Amino acid sequence: MHGRGEPAPRGAVWLLIALMALLPGARRVPAADARELFQRFSDGVVQIRIVEEGSGGKASIGSGFAVADGRRLVTNFHVVSEAVHHPDRYRAELLDEQERSQPLRLLAFDVVHDLAVLEPVEAMERPFALGRARLDKGTRIWSLGNPLDLGLSIVEGTYNGLLEHSRYRRIHFTGSLNPGMSGGPAILSDGRVVGVNVSTAGDQVSFLVPVSRVRDLLAPTLIAGFEPPSDLAAELGRQLEAYQGEYLDDLLGRAPESVDMGPYSAPTRPAPYFNCWGDSAHDDDDLYEASVHQCSTSDQVYVSREQIFSIVTLRHRHLRGAELTPSQFHEMYTQFFEGNHSQIWGRDTETTPLRCRTRFVETAGGLRFKAAFCARRYRELEGLYDVVFKAAALGRAREGFETALVLRGVDYERAERLARRHLEAIRWTP
């Protein structure tokens, strides 16, 4: 016997719960399963095709889903990017579950968050509701889409929070997204959308755009009198210009942290959304020792198949060559400097050639450097450049320190300011 207010043993509590579940009329809440959800919600998901006008064939596919009483479709920007860059060559259309197709009109896009809103000719039935709830890690969610053009599929996974090392957040979805599922919805068991499929790193590490970004992009398109941008290329350039300006202004407005590498102190982790790594080589057969420190973020902006802006990567390398003669060390040091991020990928048709300005500089702290500022301009995106800044400390026979910044899709003036501040932040302690 247990007195009033005295808790029963844990085993007795669970036994009582089990017995109650067996009583006639006991209310049991069934767990949602993928089959049920697919049957209930699949007709709100479509395949989005980008059709090449000359051949009439599909150039690429993705997924999309109906919202706003079926009058709007949501997908990723990267799914429709060819129609943005080349509207005279590509068009967007949908293919529904009944294999019916209809053209789509692009109303709005957000290149930074990789979203687009489209308008079908005929309103879709069974649109999705957009969720608002904040989720706990481990919450079960389901993703729908068209993987590898194999037909509409559903994938079960879990919500694992927002990416930490990103200024523009993504949801970490533990589930298997595949090409073709981009732009499809990730839903709760009641069908509310919590995210949009966007990318995967493989091994069930996938990413979603939070639904709050969908709401922000969708709302203006539902206002009476809304008109889409008349010049898609100009709108793309405007968004990218605003994005990189905001990003770099944030970095320039912060006091940089520092890391010690031998007798050198150098800037690291430019903002909380950067992640940094370090490593050293101490092989007994090597004639030198090298320590490397690198920082980057998860932020990547998909512009086109050939253009992905990652904004900033920072890298330092400290070298010691006690077993080398001064001339041998100088030769090795020169090779490291010349090869340090001197090449960045991209097609010559999209940018001008990379041009470098090299000079010897002395910082306010008394360090002398050989520095190179290299830039190339985007031909179609006015005012944006790729920049490589690299510098090597001088004055020591068998010891060196080199640093590099790689910036993609930035304006020239901000890049110069960031490079100057980066170099002035390096110190040497004898």
Taking only the tens place, the pLDDT of each residue in 250-287 is 999 999 899 999 999 999 999 999 999 999 976 566 78
Q: What angle do CA 73, 62, 171 make, to 5 degrees?
A: 80
Phi/psi for 209 (5° steps) reads: -85, 130
Q: What is the rounded distance in angstroms from the CA atom of residue 27 to the CA atom of residue 276?
A: 52
Q: What is the rounded distance in angstroms from the CA atom of residue 67 to the CA atom of residue 224?
A: 17
Long-range contacts of 360-363 (CB under 8 A, 24+ apart): 360/394, 361/391, 361/423, 363/423, 363/424, 363/426
pLDDT at 69: 95
From-to residues of CATH 2.40.10.120 in the chain: 34-225
What are 78-125's pLDDT values in tens digits?
A: 999 999 999 999 999 999 888 889 999 999 999 999 999 999 999 998
Banded pLDDT at 346 (limits 50, 70, 90) = low
Tokens 């709050």, residue? Answer: 212
Which CA distances in Å does 214 have to 73, 193, 393?
11, 10, 48
pLDDT at 7: 38
Q: What is the rounded distance in angstroms from the CA atom of residue 389 to the CA atom of residue 374?
A: 6
* Backbone CA torsion sign across 414, 415, 416, 419: positive
Tell me the CATH number for domain 34-225. 2.40.10.120
Rounded to two decimals, the pTM is 0.87
22: pLDDT strictly greater than 50: no
Angle between helices 232-252 and 77-85 (to 10 degrees): 120
231: pLDDT strictly greater than 70: yes
Q: What is the rounded distance in angstroms from the CA atom of residue 54 to the CA atom of residue 67?
A: 32
pLDDT at 16: 31
First to last CA, the chain: 77
165: pLDDT strictly greater than 60: yes
Phi/psi for 214 (5° steps) reads: -65, -45
What mean pLDDT comes out for the span 239-243?
A: 96
